[in-house]
Amino acid sequence: MASPVKSNPDWWRGAVIYQVYPRSFQDTTGDGLGDLNGVTERLPYISSLGVDAIWLSPFFTSPMADMGYDVSDYCDVDPIFGTLRDFDALMKKAHDLGLKVIIDQVISHTSDQHPWFKESRSSRTNDKADWYVWADPKPDGTAPNNWLSIFGGPAWEWDGVRKQYYMHNFLGSQPDLNFHNPDVQDALLKTVRFWLERGVDGFRLDTVNFYFHDKELRDNPPLVHDEDAIGLDAPDVNPYGMQNHLYDKTQPENIGFLQRFRALLDEFGERASVGEVGDGARSLKTVAAYTSGGDKLHMCYTFDLLGPDFTATHIRRCVTAFQNAVTDGWVCWAFSNHDVTRHVSRFIEKDDERERVAKLAISVLATLRGSICLYQGEELSLPEADLAFEDLRDPYGIRFWPSFKGRDGCRTPMPWEAKAENAGFSKVKPWLPVPDVHTALAADVQEKADGSVLAHYRETLAFRKQHPALRDGSMRFIETNQDILAFTREKDGERLLFVFNLRRGPQSVQLPKDLKIAEVLPMPGFEARLDGWDIELDALDVFCGKLQN
C-alpha cells in the first residue's frame, strides 16, 4: 500500500488534516448510517480540497453506546461500517490519491463488552483481574474517592460480581484500563501494530492524558478558577469542571508509555501521532511534555481555539502561550471537531455574516504556525444543527439536556446534493436528521457557485501550499495598539505579513517603519488595501504582503 507521494518523514509537520466522522459521511448500504465504502467513494472530493491526510473517527467493533468510542474489538471493523477488506480498499484509494490515513485510537478505556473486561470482572483472581481500575468501597459502601465522570456523576460504577467499584472517566459502560499494568500496555501496543502493519500512516490518540490514574486514589481538590487560564475541561453545566483534576489524569507515568508508543511507530517510518489533550489550564504544559524531545508524540491539540472566542486578543494569547511553553514540540490547531459546536455558529454575531466568518476563519487557521485540522462540513460553512430532544443520540447531551444539548448538532450527515433525498447522504431516514439549512449549503450547490465557501477553502489551502513559510516557517507577532491580529511568517528568505481584522467595523493599521511591503499578495476572498504605510481593512478582512528583506 505504498503511497505515490515523495518520501517525507516530516509530512505531518504543517499538514492539513481532514476529519471524517464515518457514521455521518456517506451511506452506501441503505441503513441510514455512513460507512467505510462511503468514505472511499467521497475521497476524490476530500482530495480536491488540497488536504494532506484524513483522520477517521472510530470504526472499530463496538456496541455504540458512545458512537464507537467504546471499543469491544480493536482489530476489526464494526459491521455497520463494513469489513477489513473495505478498510483496505479505502487505504489503497487514499494512497493512490496521495492522502495519508490517520485512525482514531481510543485506548484509555474499552467497552464493558470487550472480552478483556468480561474476564476482568468475572473474579478477583483471573488473568486479567488487574487490567482495569478496580477499588474497594469505603466502609460505608460509597465510592473510593470523589472523582467524577465527564458524562455526569461519579467516575465509579459498582460491580456486584467482584463486589468492587471500577473506574470510568466517561460512561459507566466505558471502564478505564489500568495502564500501571505492563501487560495492558503490551496488549494495546499489539493492537496498534496490527494497524501499522495494515498500512495506516498515523494515529489520533483520544484523551491521551487520561491513560494513567493516581495509584493512591487521592481525592481531587476543588478548582480555584483563574480568569486568565486557557483551556476548558467541560461545559459549565457539568460539575466535572469544579475539580482540579490532579489525580484522575495527566500522571507522570504517561511519559514512559508515550515513549513506548513512539518507538513502535518509528519502527515503521513516516508514521505520525497526534494527541488530544483535555487538561484545563494545564493543557499547554502537558502538550510541551508530550511533544518534546522527539521521542513521544509528534504533535498534540488542545481545546484552546474550540471555544466561543474569535478575537485577535484570544488567538494571539493562545498562540503566544503555546510558543512560550512548547519550545521543541508541535501543535495541531483546529476550530471545530466532532465534540464541539460548529465554529461558524460559535463565532458569528448575526446570521448574514456566516459566509464571511467562515472564510475568515480558514484564512486565520491556514496561516498559523502548526498543523491544522478541518472537520467535515466546515468547508461548506455548516452551522450547528438545532435538534429536538427526541432526535438526540449523544448520551452526553441526553444527560445534561436542556442546558447542554450535547454533540449531535455537529455530527449530522454531510449534505452532498441539495435536490436529492436526505441531501444525498442516504436513501433512507438517516441516524440524525439533515437540517434544511444544511441542504441549502450542499456541496453540489457550492461547486457551481463563484465565491462559495467551498471554493474559498480550496483557494486558501492552495495558497498555503504555495508558500513554504506557512507550512513550518517561523512566526512573530507584530505589536500594535489596536485590536488587530498581525504577524509575520518566514522561511528560506521569504517573509510574509498577515493582518487580520476580526472586528465588525473597518480599521486602518499603520505599519511599523521597519516593515516594508515588497509586494501585496491578494488573499483569496478579501480586498484589504495598502495606502502608503497604512493598511485599510474592512470589517472581517485580511491583508497579506511579502516583506522586503
Residues 331-386 pLDDT 10s: 999 999 999 999 999 999 999 999 999 999 999 999 999 999 999 999 999 999 99
pLDDT at position 232? 54
Sort 478 into a burial class: Cβ within 10 Å, 0-12 / 13-18 / 19+: middle
Return the C-alpha cell found at 192.
Answer: 496498534
Distance from CA of residue 301 to its chain's centroid? Answer: 7
Contacts of 282 (CB under 8 A, 6+ apart): 231, 250
Return the C-alpha cell found at 300.
Answer: 498534540
What number of H helices and E strands is found in the chain?
14, 21
Residues annotated catalytic, as ranges: 206, 267
Domain with CATH 3.20.20.80 in the chain: 16-109+182-463
Domain with CATH 2.60.40.1180 in the chain: 473-547
Check whether the bond before 402 is cis (ω within 30° of 0): yes
Q: Are the C-beta atoms of 217 and 268 separated by less than 8 Å?
A: no
Distance from CA of residue 529 to its chain's centroid? Answer: 35
For the chain, which ranges sit under pLDDT 70? Answer: 1-6, 226-233
Q: Find cell 495506516 and name the residue.
A: 200
Residue 23 CA to residue 529 CA, distance in Å, equals: 44
Coil, helix or strand at residue 157:
strand
Residues 149-169 pLDDT 10s: 999 999 999 999 999 999 999
Return the C-alpha cell found at 188.
Answer: 494495546
**Domain spanning 16-109+182-463: which CATH class is it, in words?**
alpha beta
pLDDT at position 233? 66
pLDDT at position 224? 87
Kindly report the CA angle at 83 between 81 and 88, in degrees rounded to 5? Answer: 110
- Fill in the amino acid letter for 237: V
**Domain spanning 473-547: which CATH class is it, in words?**
mainly beta
Q: Find cell 495509584 and name the residue.
A: 215
pLDDT at position 2? 39
pLDDT at position 279? 87
For 202-242, the DSSP string reads EEEETTGGGS---TT-PPPPBP---TT----SS-TTSGGGG
Shortest CA distance to 184 belongs to which of 266, 277, 137, 114?
Answer: 114
Kindly give the pairing relationship between strand 100-105 and strand 202-205: parallel
Q: Are the C-beta atoms of 190 and 182 separated by less than 8 Å?
A: no
Kindly give the pairing relationship between strand 164-167 and strand 272-276: unpaired
The pTM of this model reads 0.96
Contacts of 17 (CB under 8 A, 6+ apart): 51, 52, 53, 54, 55, 102, 274, 332, 371, 372, 373, 374
Residue 446 CA to residue 452 CA, distance in Å, equals: 6
pLDDT at position 311? 96
pLDDT at position 6? 61
Phi and psi angles of residue 232, each rounded to the nearest 5 degrees, phi first: -130, 145
Phi and psi angles of residue 227, each rounded to the nearest 5 degrees, phi first: -65, -20
Residue 416 CA to residue 177 CA, distance in Å, equals: 39
